[in-house]
A and B are shown apart, each in its own frame.
Chain A
């Protein structure tokens, strides 16, 4: 057999297979919308979870429990709790328990073994690459967009980037009331764009009612947050009657209806006061 024949054959096979692969790749990427989806399939969600935890580890400056001493009792990362308004009452098992043996105690000098957070202004930017990657890996993970947007607008003063990322999240998760709520907060608190904030928050309420109201255990906390934000928004622009309406709805799901009632009474008093 002439030596050129197998070479030509190999070349032909390579070209044919390569061409098919390219076509397949184009079609698949168009269908799935992501190279990660094409390469990793459904396993990308597991990777996204790990990458999200990596962001939380960065928030703790590398100090983080391993899978062997795992400690997320309520299933929420500390970074998420921070966005929900508190990062105070959690413990880190290692620090409380002490070390099991001298080797572990000696080894603790070589890795972050003290509970710390990214405190300095601007340091929070370090968690963003992992959140970006988590969103690329699993665009349907709503937490990623909310957490990233919170840090972008609250700690880095990058409101436009936060809005763009939330909009990207909304495109991937059109029905998400959580993202709509975060977007509404951004318009209300950062942009002071009241009509837009109102529209987005009312849409969030509508989405929540459509998705959660019929469930046996609805996400009442999210609903309460949206209503509280809406009520505060209306109160701030003097629409007390609208604020009362939202507070009344909030009272039904709030764990402290008495406090809400006091707010309602205050607003009613303002409404009845002659100008």
Chain B
């Protein structure tokens, strides 16, 4: 009889230990999940900021702007500079610099040369697309493109597609 009582008491103690352990495990799992959720949210927000930063980096590229001596014209891009950038951007020694600046994005400039659209020119100055499972933010900015040799100012649109 006493033996049985002791056995029951032991069982009770073991049950309590197991319950306490289960509660601790549940607590740890819950805390981890909460932390994971907040980290995912934070990561999404950071990616949004990164996409916006890429767009800002493109729009603030001083070296692409139209210049006359030390004077710079805002929202005006030099036709020959974008052509030059297009030829240089993926050279091995330059690649890392532009990747750090633009990341996974596509930067395209549409030059509208006439209304019919026949002679319009599209220049992709940078393109590193990795669209798999990724959403994108597209930012379009109207700009002036100056061909200083022929003294013509074209209307153009700079389209920045940033992937995240």
A in complex with B = no
Task: Please give the residue numbers on chain B whose beta carbons come within 8 Å of chain A beta carbons, in ascending order.
Answer: none
Task: Please give the residue numbers on chain A whose beta carbons come within 8 Å of chain B beta carbons, in ascending order.
Answer: none
